[in-house]
A and B are shown apart, each in its own frame.
Chain A
Amino acid sequence: MAGRAIARSNMRAGKRFMSTAGWWSHVTPAPRDPILGVTEAFLADTHPSKVNVGVGAYRNDKGKPVVLQCVREAERRIAGSKFMEYLPMGGSVKFTEFAIRLAYGDEADVLNDKRVASVQTLSGTGACRLFADFQKRFKPESLVYIPIPTCHHNIWRDARVESRLFRYYDPATKGLDFSGLMEDVKNAPSGSFFLLHACAHNPTGVDPSEEQWKEISQLFKEKGHFPLFDMAYQGFASGDTEKDGQAIRIFMNDGHQIACGQSFAKNMGLYGQRVGCLSVICSTPQESVAVKSQLQQIARPMYSNPPLHGAEIVSTILSDPELKDLWHKEVKEMADRIISMREALRFNLEKLGSKLNWQHVTDQIGMFCYSGLTEEQVDRLTREFHVYLTRNGRISMAGVTTGNVEYLANAVHEVSK
């Protein structure tokens, strides 16, 4: 091997590598990220009809990435800024103030009472990680309940917080296992932490109804559980930011002191800018100051302070009524396109005479559709039809276009009939 040859030649020269035996012989290659693997395979495929429904980023009807007009305009306005200094550890105050108004509502009492601790984070992942580390530090004996399925396991694992699962998705109905969820919430020890997806559950697209959220909130009150909301799709799910925030409003109005992680990756298309916010509703303003200071303390040895550019874009948009209106319009366009693709996919499947029930395609919401396809069927989709998706049967509706929806429906029908 090249390494050993170099080592030998250096030994002859009187030098030696530290690691002929190996500092690192025990470092195994990490398993390939399943989602990225799908993208790589898609890119390598030369078939003209190939379809990528594995992608977790919005695409327009031509299958192209989109930068929102409001974002481009915001960038033009902030270009040439003289300011590139370190943000405070908690990030841009202007940004977090706008972010929490979006999450909780402009008139929310918790905001007027100044009871919300908020810090800018590295998008949604960063918000979850900061909270997980905070939970570990201040509630070391606590565990976190995460829904089956979800994408958060690694975050709490690396924060060394023990996790349990609670029932969520029902494969039989391809909808919510509401009774299973309520049972698990009831059986969890009082005062447990629960991770909830505020809207457009990833990966299933299955959300509780407004009534169900109210019942969940009541049960949480009885059990004294702590709700942590991951809100990665506000505005992107239904097209209406208020509607998509309804779960949070319900819990907040019921008096829960929730935490919320927000991401602007999808709803503003700022994926690579890593813009997010973690907020924690506290009992008093003093407590919120203390909590914020401790969140900052966790951020400092992780990255010192968060990146500026994306936060500036968001602040610029949310602080300007015209740009904010434009944003609302654009996010609704994205949501509407996704919804129309859901309708088209279901329509086409039914038109092809599929005997299966495809109602879940339009019942589910947000970027993802949990199709119910098995791993074998997914493999066939890829092998025979050059349709790329993750093996859990999750279809990214963002990758569906008027140009490929019939082809996709046909492929799905062929492997599932």
Chain B
Amino acid sequence: MAVAVDVSKFESVTMAPPDPILGVSEAFKADSSPLKLNLGVGAYRTEELQPYVLDVVKKAEKLMLESGEFKEYLPIEGLAAFNKATAELLLGADNPVIKQGRIATVQGLSGTGSLRLGAAFIQRYLPGVKVLISSPTWGNHKNILNDSGVPWSEYRYFDPTTVGLDFSGMIEDIKNATDGSIILLHGCAHNPTGIDPTAEQWGTIADVIEEKSHLPFFDVAYQGFASGSLDNDASSVRQFVARGLELFVAQSYSKNLGLYAERIGAINAVVSSSDVANRIKSQLKRLARPMYSNPPVHGARIVANVVGDPSLFDEWRSEMQLMAGRIKGVRQSLYDALSSVDENGKDWSFILKQIGMFSFTGLNKNQSDNMTDKWHVYMTKDGRISLAGLSLAKCEYLADAIIDSYYNVK
């Protein structure tokens, strides 16, 4: 059949580069080596390197199936029970901010979608205001800000010499930013480095932010998953809120409830009054409507069911501790293996100090390429490995790969 047009309207469309993170999984799938190891994408795996659907999720879904839920549209702001639960999980159920109605919560498409709503709001209501992101940060942060039309710059964060936090650099850069900038912070388990400020350092960060009248924007993708405790992992956010600061928070339930595919999260604005909260909520809705009309119900119902049932909630806490515990165990095992294989006495203890799913190994791009090309270890080019994809059984192999890449490749 003839094509009506001589030249396609989209003739000039070039092939987009593969996503640096999601593209890794695709390359892994294509590799036929039996030794291959996927330390790319941040999705939790069991010791047998199988995906893990939480028991509480299965139970919640069973309840939902049995109750024959309707499938009607959610309101634009999402499932009310979910929004209530997520705000309470973030701030603590008895936080005065909630009682006072000073938090605006809108269900979002996981962390990405929630960040996008926040960024779109910033573009509309704080046009020209710059967002400062950590160097490095999750790759998609830049895409989200770019596609939203929000300018950004970086603050120092990772110190390659210590494989730790460049705290003085971070503080200096936040201080030097124009007053009233927006500072994107990782609430816990920094992605990609795994390096978090201490409680005291958070206090100093809050001091500077307050001094400079900046707006903090927290990305909280690992609450409960980092330390195993929901409350501990929210302490940075709660600290800022307790000081009376206004802030934005994007949340995700991809990792802590294993709901990756269901795209469930929320964008929150903690503000000075319930009136402001209501106005902001209405405008967030106005941004969401022409993007997708209203959010998907399935993941929201699962969260609401789990949090709403005390025994399921307890069980969830145990499962989070299990997942966080496995990660900690794997960190220990990797550290032990590296220390024993390394003949040069390099200090690998940063592996133990880092927290959460990811570890910044300190490997550069060439070394990371070597990990993949020679050892069939798939990771992102910034040297990030996802410990969620590592089993105890593979720690020695990985240690060999890292030692080889670190010392033999420049």
Contact = CB atoms under 8 A, between A and B. Distances in A.
20 contacts: A4-B273, A19-B272, A27-B280, A30-B279, A72-B68, A76-B65, A84-B51, A126-B291, A129-B290, A157-B290, A269-B71, A272-B298, A273-B296, A294-B16, A300-B22, A301-B143, A302-B147, A303-B113, A303-B116, A307-B299
A273 B215 CA distance: 34
Given A3-B275, A79-B65, A301-B146, A221 B261 contact: no
Interface in A14-36: 15-20, 22-24, 26-30, 33, 36
A123 B293 contact: yes
A230 to B, nearest CB: 13
B61 A191 contact: no
Contacts of A83: 51, 53, 261
A109 B110 CA distance: 38
A301 B246 contact: no
Nearest to B245: A18
A307 B261 contact: yes
Given A87-B261, A300-B140, A122 B9 contact: no
A85 B22 CA distance: 12
Given A27-B279, A255-B4, A1 B273 contact: yes
A308 interface: yes
A71 interface: yes
Interface string B2-45: 11110111111111100100100010000000000000010100
Contact of A283 (B8, B243, B294): B8
Nearest to A26: B125
A80 B62 CA distance: 8
Contacts of A19: 246, 271-272, 276
A23 B298 CA distance: 35
B263 interface: yes
B373 interface: no
A412 interface: no
A372 B124 CA distance: 37
A282 interface: yes
B51 to A, nearest CB: 5
A409 interface: no
Interface string A77-91: 001111111111100
A269 B335 CA distance: 52
Contact of B125 (A1, A27, A255, A307): A27
B285 A296 contact: no
B274 interface: yes
Given A27-B280, A85-B43, A291-B10, A273 B298 contact: yes
A256 B259 contact: no
Interface in A387-415: none
Contact of A18 (B72, B213, B283): B213
Contacts of B57: 84
Contacts of B58: 80
Interface of A: 1-4, 6-7, 10, 15-20, 22-24, 26-30, 33, 36, 56-57, 65, 67, 71-72, 75-76, 79-89, 109, 122-123, 125-126, 129, 133, 138-139, 154-155, 157-159, 191, 221, 224, 226, 253-257, 265, 269-274, 280, 282-283, 287, 289-291, 293-294, 296-298, 300-310
Interface string B344-386: 0000000000000000000000000000000000000000000
A47 to B, nearest CB: 23
B84 interface: no
B260 interface: yes
Interface of B: 1-5, 7-16, 19, 22, 26, 41, 43, 50-51, 53, 57-58, 61-62, 65, 68-76, 100, 102, 109-110, 112-113, 116, 125-126, 140, 143-144, 146-148, 210, 213, 215, 243-246, 254, 258-263, 271-276, 278-280, 282-283, 285-287, 289-299
Contact of B19 (A57, A89, A133): A89
Given A109-B1, A307-B262, A309-B262, A293 B246 contact: no
Nearest to B271: A24
Contacts of B280: 24, 27
A125 B65 contact: no
A257 B296 contact: no
B278 A308 contact: no
Nearest to A58: B72
B41 to A, nearest CB: 7
A85 to B, nearest CB: 5
A3 B272 contact: yes
A253 B10 CA distance: 19
A306 B68 contact: no
Contact of A15 (B3, B244, B283, B291): B244
Given A86-B260, A290-B14, A298-B147, A257 B292 contact: no
A139 B9 contact: yes
B51 A221 contact: no
A36 B75 CA distance: 8
6 tightest A-B CB contacts, nearest first: A3-B273, A255-B4, A272-B297, A308-B261, A122-B292, A303-B109
B272 A122 contact: no
Contacts of B291: 122, 125-126, 129, 158, 302
Nearest to B57: A84
Given A27-B280, A29-B282, A270-B71, A309 B51 contact: no
A375 B296 CA distance: 33
Nearest to A160: B149
Contacts of B285: 30, 33
B273 A2 contact: yes
Contacts of B274: 2-3
B272 A17 contact: yes
A190 to B, nearest CB: 11
Contacts of B275: 1, 3
A222 B34 CA distance: 57
A305 B263 contact: yes
B4 A256 contact: yes
Contact of B215 (A1, A23, A57, A253): A23
Contacts of B11: 283, 287
Contacts of A86: 22, 41, 43, 254, 260-261
Nearest to A20: B272
A271 B144 CA distance: 27
A294 B13 CA distance: 8
A57 B4 contact: no
Contacts of A287: 8, 10-11, 13
Contact of A303 (B72, B74, B263): B263
Contacts of A16: 210, 244
B16 A274 contact: no
